[in-house]
Amino acid sequence: MALLPIISLPDPRLRLVSEPVAEIDAQVRRLMEDMLETMYDAPGIGLAAIQVAVPRRILVIDIAKPEDGPKPICVVNPEIVWASDVLSVYEEGCLSIPEYYEEVERPDRVRVRYLDKDGKTQELEADGLLATALQHEIDHLNGVLFIDHISRLKRERVMRKFTKVARRTATEV
């Protein structure tokens, strides 16, 4: 197992559309293990492969409370096959946009079809935080960030802040 570095704004790789996984082999399973370890260490409730600079359609989620023990979900090539018309608002954050939180409105329930770590097709209907996390992670696979769902003014303010920080870091001796 290994901790992987998490890329953050304004890294342009966060805007890539990730490629489907053709075969769930040992390398993919190893990546999912490393992503889980990286997510728990951060700590976060979800992680998409592109956040560790791998542009493939892979994500991991665990929304269990720490006292209930780990309940990891490994998801490959997910598709949202149904989303509710009812929307709900959650305050979201992203490990690639550290220390920024904002309310986002998304469908309240989703049904997702995906391959599990054994390559078996699964379907999962989720609501609440799990529905939000699944949509947030699937957005990452399409190069979409949660700030794309907030007002342009707020998004541009966040982008500018992270671009400034990156520029300052790059020019430090």
Residues serving a catalytic function are 137
Q: Specify the residue, 72 or 93, whose C-beta has the smaller distance to ligand GNR.
A: 93
Q: Which residues bind ligand GNR (CB under 6 A)?
A: 44-48, 51, 90, 92-96, 132-133, 136-137, 140
DSSP class of residue 167? Answer: H
CA torsion sign for 43, 61, 7, 139 is negative
Which of 4, 94, 110, 134 binds Ni ion (CB under 5 A)? It is 94
Q: Specify the residue, 25 or 148, whose C-beta has the smaller distance to ligand GNR.
A: 148
DSSP class of residue 165? Answer: H
* Partner touching 132 among ligand GNR, Ni ion, none, CB below 5 to 8 Å by kind: ligand GNR
Q: What angle do CA 6, 64, 138 make, to 5 degrees?
A: 50
Q: Specify the residue, 10 or 93, whose C-beta has the smaller distance to ligand GNR.
A: 93
Cα-Cα-Cα-Cα dihedral of 40, 45, 49, 50, to 10°? -120
CB of 23 to ligand GNR, least distance (A): 24
Residue 91 pairs with which residues in a beta bridge?
A: 103
The pattern of x and - marking residues 134 through 163 that bind Ni ion according to CB under 5 A reads ------------------------------
CB of 30 to Ni ion, least distance (A): 22
CB contact at 8 A, 75 and 114? yes
Q: Measuring CA to CA, how many Å separate 85 from each of 128, 129, 149?
A: 14, 17, 17
Q: What angle do CA 80, 84, 87 make, to 5 degrees?
A: 115
State which amino acid sits at residue 128. Answer: G
CB of 173 to ligand GNR, least distance (A): 31
Residue nearest to Ni ion (CB): 94
* Partner touching 133 among Ni ion, ligand GNR, none, CB below 5 to 8 Å by kind: ligand GNR
**Residues within the interface to Ni ion (CB under 5 A):** 94
